[in-house]
């Protein structure tokens, strides 16, 4: 990342990330397609609550690992290979601990959180079963993301893709086998997902124990270096808090959607699955920018950082808006993947056509946040996104839904809050002394 064509480096790094994220997104989508078409709309509604709850439980931990990736990237760019090794072993050891914690907390907290979300009684038993089985695979989920963070920090986005291809095939085959042919129901869909996640985590971990580089894992060295962990948490903790609080905001949004019944749940859930694909190029370029910025700051190449930030943002915003236009036009056709019921498709289409033309703002938010995280400035994205995507969004929905009790009101919460955060990010990014502080942060790091 510290030499050669910036555009080529960003795109060639982001493409494997995109394909890998695409395959990972297929986990829940395959669940929804199989469950919706085999078990019906109530089962689809149960699975459709997945995004908010999973992000609530997993988001904090993955946010913490963001700090490890930034530290590894800066040390790798500075050619501090001993530091890379220490940060890698610390991060993986911490991931093992957090994976076990997620499994325990997720299993026992699921009924309580689903109750807070106002999950309808006819959907509750299936939702509890799905999520309890899903969180039994918490260790696999966390370990895969931690290992991928190490690969990405040193500029390797290809190997995680290879492992995801294998695990996605396993997930798809097992989903069809467990749900359609063996009749395991919604629990079978969750079991297929966690088996696939463990496979991808195991493959990624084994690769790290054999790779030729400073990020190689040695089992005997798996321990936590307190000083390194403190640095990783200092950067990662704000992102973890941000993810968790935004997830709580999403849970509030989901609870309001739930109040409109299982048709709204299934329709919005189907759209959120579709939207997950839309977000992929956005999040992948953001991740590429984080790695690019961290490595080039470590190497002291500040002009390259500024140029890369500009190029990556333009690519992401343009791509997002093109996708948004396609989603606006093709929403009814795309949503039929998840359900053939006209009411469900109608709700999902209304949400798609409310939000899709504003995807450019979402891309801008993610790119600027990714740049700042790569520079170690994780508190800024945390404050901006918590203020807009959580507090403002919850306030808007809480007040307006009571005045206008229509589900479309909830849909407008997203473009409104994306606009607010984009304005704040741009003001911060272009203030007079920001670039100077950017360089200083790199020198201190």
pLDDT tens string 17-70:
787 777 766 666 676 777 777 777 667 666 665 555 666 666 677 777 777 888
Pairwise CA distance, residues 225 & 222, whole Å:
10
Q: Cα–Cα distance between 349 and 347 in angstroms, integer?
A: 5
Highest mean pLDDT among 30-34, 148-152, 198-202 belongs to 198-202
Distance CA 120, CA 48 (A): 13
In this predicted structure, the answer to whether residue 205 has a pLDDT above a threshold of 90 is yes
Higher-scoring residue by pLDDT: 97, 106:
97
Per the prediction, the chain carries an average pLDDT of: 83
Residue 175: half-sphere exposure toward Cβ, Cα within 13 Å: 26
Task: Examine the pLDDT at 345 and tell me if it is beyond 90.
Answer: no
The whole-number average pLDDT for the span 79-98 is: 91
- Average pLDDT for 302-323: 90
pLDDT at 196 exceeding the cut of 50:
yes
Q: What is the pLDDT of residue 27?
A: 63
Task: Please give the Cα distance from 289 to 294 (Å, whole number).
Answer: 8
Is the torsion defined by CA of 67, 72, 78, 83 positive or negative?
positive
Mean per-residue pLDDT, 175-189: 84
Q: Tell me which residue range forms the domain holding 31.
A: 6-444
Average pLDDT estimate for 90-113:
87
Write out the two tokens for 220: 């005997």
* Residue 432 pLDDT exceeds 50: no
Region of poorest pLDDT, from 39-53, 209-223, 367-381 = 39-53
State the pLDDT at residue 361: 94
Q: Is residue 227 part of a domain?
A: yes
Least confident segment among 7-16, 53-62, 350-359: 53-62
Please compute Rg for the chain using Cα positions: 21
Q: Check whether 218 has a pLDDT greater than 80.
A: yes
Residue 1 belongs to some domain of the structure: no
Average pLDDT (360-365) is 93
Q: Is the pTM of the predicted complex or chain greater than 0.75?
A: no
Q: How confident is the model at residue 365 (pLDDT cuts 50, 70, 90)?
A: very high
Q: Is 127 inside a domain boundary?
A: yes
Cβ atoms of 17 and 156 within 8 Å: the answer is: no
Residue 119: predicted pLDDT:
72
Residues 6+ apart with CB under 8 A from 261: 120
Which pLDDT score is estimated for 445? 39
Domain total in the chain: 1
Please compute the mean of the pLDDT values over residues 268-290 and round it to a whole number: 82
Is residue 211 included in any domain, yes or no? Answer: yes
Residue 334: pLDDT above 80?
Answer: yes
The tokens for 117 are 């979300």
429-436 average pLDDT score: 60
Domain contains 190 = yes
pLDDT at res. 28: 61
Tell me whether residue 123 is exposed, middle or buried, using C-beta atoms within 10 angstroms of its C-beta: 0 to 12, 13 to 18, 19 or more: buried
What mean pLDDT is predicted for residues 293-321? 88
């Amino acid at each position: 990342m510290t030499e050669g064509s910036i555009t080529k480096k960003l795109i060639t790094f982001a493409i494997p990330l995109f394909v890998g994220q695409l395959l990972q997104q297929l986990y829940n989508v395959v669940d929804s397609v199989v469950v919706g078409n085999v078990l019906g709309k109530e089962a689809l509604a149960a699975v459709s609550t997945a995004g908010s709850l999973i992000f609530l439980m997993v988001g904090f931990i993955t946010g913490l690992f963001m700090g490890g990736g930034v530290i590894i990237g800066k040390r790798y760019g500075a050619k501090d290979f001993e530091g890379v090794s220490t940060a890698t072993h610390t991060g993986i050891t911490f991931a093992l601990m957090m994976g076990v914690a997620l499994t325990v907390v997720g299993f026992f907290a699921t009924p309580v959180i689903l109750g807070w979300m106002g999950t309808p009684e006819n959907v509750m038993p299936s939702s509890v079963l799905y999520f309890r089985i899903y969180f039994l695979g918490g260790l696999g989920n966390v370990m895969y993301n931690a290992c991928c963070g190490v690969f990405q920090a040193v500029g390797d986005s290809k190997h995680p893709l290879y492992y995801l291809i294998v695990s996605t095939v396993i997930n798809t085959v097992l989903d069809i086998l467990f749900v359609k042919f063996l009749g395991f129901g919604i629990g079978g869909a969750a079991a297929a997902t966690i088996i696939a996640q463990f496979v991808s985590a195991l493959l990624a971990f084994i690769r790290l124990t054999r790779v030729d580089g400073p990020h190689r894992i040695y089992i005997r060295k798996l321990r936590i270096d307190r000083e390194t962990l403190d640095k990783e948490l200092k950067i990662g903790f704000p992102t973890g808090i941000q993810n968790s609080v935004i997830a709580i905001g999403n849970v509030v949004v989901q609870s309001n959607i739930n109040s409109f019944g299982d048709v709204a749940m299934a329709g919005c859930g189907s759209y959120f699955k579709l939207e997950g694909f839309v977000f992929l190029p956005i999040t992948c370029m953001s991740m590429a920018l984080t790695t690019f910025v961290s490595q080039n700051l470590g190497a002291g190449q500040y002009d390259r950082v500024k140029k890369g930030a500009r190029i990556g943002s333009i690519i992401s915003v343009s791509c997002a808006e093109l996708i948004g236009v396609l989603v606006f036009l093709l929403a009814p056709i795309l949503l039929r993947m998840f359900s053939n019921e006209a009411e469900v498709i109608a709700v999902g289409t209304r949400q798609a056509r409310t939000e899709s033309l504003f995807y450019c703002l979402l891309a801008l938010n993610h790119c600027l946040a990714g740049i700042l995280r790569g520079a170690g400035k994780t508190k800024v994205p945390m404050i901006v996104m918590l203020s807009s995507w959580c507090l403002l969004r919850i306030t808007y929905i809480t007040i307006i839904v009571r005045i206008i009790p229509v589900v479309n009101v909830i849909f407008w919460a997203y473009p409104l809050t994306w606009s607010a955060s984009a304005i704040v990010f741009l003001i911060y990014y272009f203030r007079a002394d920001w670039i100077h502080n950017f360089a200083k942060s790199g020198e201190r790091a």
